[in-house]
């Protein structure tokens, strides 16, 4: 998830675990601990863009990292604040819970999280939440603000606002889960209607919501992709657009290290295209640039194979490309009305 969500969630959990004893320090420690796995962003300083894809949410997002780091953080925090208010065991639980929640939450995104590093390179991705979702973030931010001012003024703390925020987030996750199951069933029905024989398929949330979903169907030589809202009527058109995989275009570069990183990162959900003067590797899992409005729109994740120096900000650069106020209005319309 985005940094703001992790900070707010960490502060809320910190307030629950140690607010009475540590006051606002619990919020600060919670926000810091919840953000700690994302220290892997520093890898971008010496890794190539393709290497950084696998370094991010790699070892620092593993359970081994949590087991190694929680005791060290606990020892440091206890020495800093003393053992009178918070025992070493409570500090260890505090940090283990915070880091574990970070790992679990990040695993709900499409990016993939290396829970089992370094023993296995398998990346867990639940495809249940977009990396930034205001319905998840805003309740946590409000609860964090309430906790901060309450604990700072030494008023009797009540966890009610935090519990309400957690209930909203949990309810939204359930909505997302049932929405995902519903869309997956509709996708399977559409494949049968079109006579497609999928090798595999997946659905993942569109930007900022779990009410509109990006769908991809692997048919071997290519992919059918499209968008579906939970508000679309069952009989409304479920449009799927075909994109050939064209992995034969990788013949001259297939063994390159960056290409191998990209293939591994994409889990095989990729297509290769020729754009003017360069070959482009597209990871389909991140959807299309306004594909909900333009079925043949370019994909959000694209890597220039013949111009590696032009691949900065790989994940971010295509997600909101071309968006403005008018686009956002059209996006809301697409979610709540039939196409």
Q: Which pLDDT score, from 0 to 100, does residue 159 have?
A: 81
Which has the closest alpha carbon to 123: 269, 220, 301, 266? Answer: 266
Q: CB-hemisphere CA count at 13 Å for 315? A: 20
- What CA–CA distance (Å, rounded) separates 177 from 182? 9
**How far are the Cα atoms of 285, 300, 301, 339 from residue 317, in angstroms, in the given order?**
15, 7, 8, 27
Residues 84-122: pLDDT tens digits?
A: 678 899 999 999 999 999 999 999 999 999 999 999 999
Q: Which pLDDT score, from 0 to 100, does residue 320 have?
A: 83
Q: Which pLDDT score, from 0 to 100, does residue 317 have?
A: 85
Q: Which pLDDT score, from 0 to 100, does residue 157 have?
A: 58
What stretches in the chain show pLDDT beneath 50?
Answer: none
Q: Which pLDDT score, from 0 to 100, does residue 84 have?
A: 63
- What CA–CA distance (Å, rounded) separates 28 from 15? 9
Q: Degrees (nearest 5) of the Cα angle 139, 180, 120? A: 90
- What CA–CA distance (Å, rounded) separates 165 from 12? 9
Q: Which pLDDT score, from 0 to 100, does residue 308 have?
A: 78
Structural contact between residues 285 and 271, judged by C-beta atoms closer than 8 angstroms: no
Q: How far from the centroid of its chain's Cα atoms is residue 333's Cα?
A: 24
- What CA–CA distance (Å, rounded) separates 299 from 281? 10
Measured over the CA atoms of residue 151, residue 155, residue 160 and residue 161, the dihedral's sign is negative
Structural contact between residues 3 and 38, judged by C-beta atoms closer than 8 angstroms: yes
Q: Which pLDDT score, from 0 to 100, does residue 156 have?
A: 57
Structural contact between residues 208 and 132, judged by C-beta atoms closer than 8 angstroms: yes
User: How big is the chain, counted in residues?
Assistant: 339
Q: Which pLDDT score, from 0 to 100, does residue 121 have?
A: 93
Q: Which pLDDT score, from 0 to 100, does residue 2 have?
A: 93
> In the numeric block, which tokens belong to residue 327?
């686009």
Q: Which helix (H) or strand (E) holds 160?
A: helix 160-194
Please return the burial class of 283, using the count of CB atoms within 10 Å of its CB with bins 0-12, 13-18 and 19+: buried
> In the numeric block, which tokens belong to residue 140?
């946590």
Full-model pTM: 0.92
């Amino acid at each position: 998830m985005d940094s703001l969500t992790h900070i707010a969630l960490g502060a809320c959990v910190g307030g629950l675990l140690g607010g009475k004893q540590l006051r606002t320090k619990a919020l600060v420690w919670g926000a810091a601990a919840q953000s700690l796995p994302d220290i892997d962003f520093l890898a971008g300083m010496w890794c190539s863009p393709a290497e950084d894809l696998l370094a991010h949410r790699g070892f620092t997002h593993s359970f081994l990292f949590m087991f190694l780091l929680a005791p060290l953080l606990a020892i440091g925090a206890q020495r800093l604040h003393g053992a009178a208010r918070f025992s070493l065991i409570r500090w260890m639980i505090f940090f283990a819970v915070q880091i574990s929640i970070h790992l679990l939450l990040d695993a709900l995104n499409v990016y993939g999280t290396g829970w089992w590093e370094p023993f296995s390179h398998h990346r867990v991705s639940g495809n249940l939440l977009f990396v930034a979702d205001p319905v998840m973030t805003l309740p946590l931010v409000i609860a964090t603000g309430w906790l901060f001012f309450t604990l700072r003024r030494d008023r009797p703390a009540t966890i009610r606002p935090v519990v309400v925020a957690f209930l909203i987030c949990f309810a939204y996750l359930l909505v997302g889960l049932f929405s995902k199951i519903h869309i997956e069933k509709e996708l399977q029905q559409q494949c049968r209607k079109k006579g497609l024989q999928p090798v595999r398929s997946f659905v993942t949330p569109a930007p900022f919501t779990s009410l509109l979903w990006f769908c991809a169907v692997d048919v071997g030589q290519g992919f059918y992709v499209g968008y579906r809202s939970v508000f679309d009527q069952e009989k409304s058109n479920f449009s799927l657009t075909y994109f050939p995989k064209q992995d034969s275009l990788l013949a001259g570069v297939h063994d390159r290290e960056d290409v191998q990183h990209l293939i591994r990162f994409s889990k095989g959900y990729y297509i290769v295209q020729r754009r003017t003067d360069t070959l482009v590797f597209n990871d389909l899992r991140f959807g299309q640039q306004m594909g909900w409005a333009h079925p043949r729109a370019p994909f959000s994740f694209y890597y220039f194979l013949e111009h590696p120096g032009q691949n900065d900000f790989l994940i971010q650069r295509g997600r909101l490309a071309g968006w403005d106020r008018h686009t956002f209005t059209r996006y809301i319309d697409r979610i709540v009305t039939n196409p």
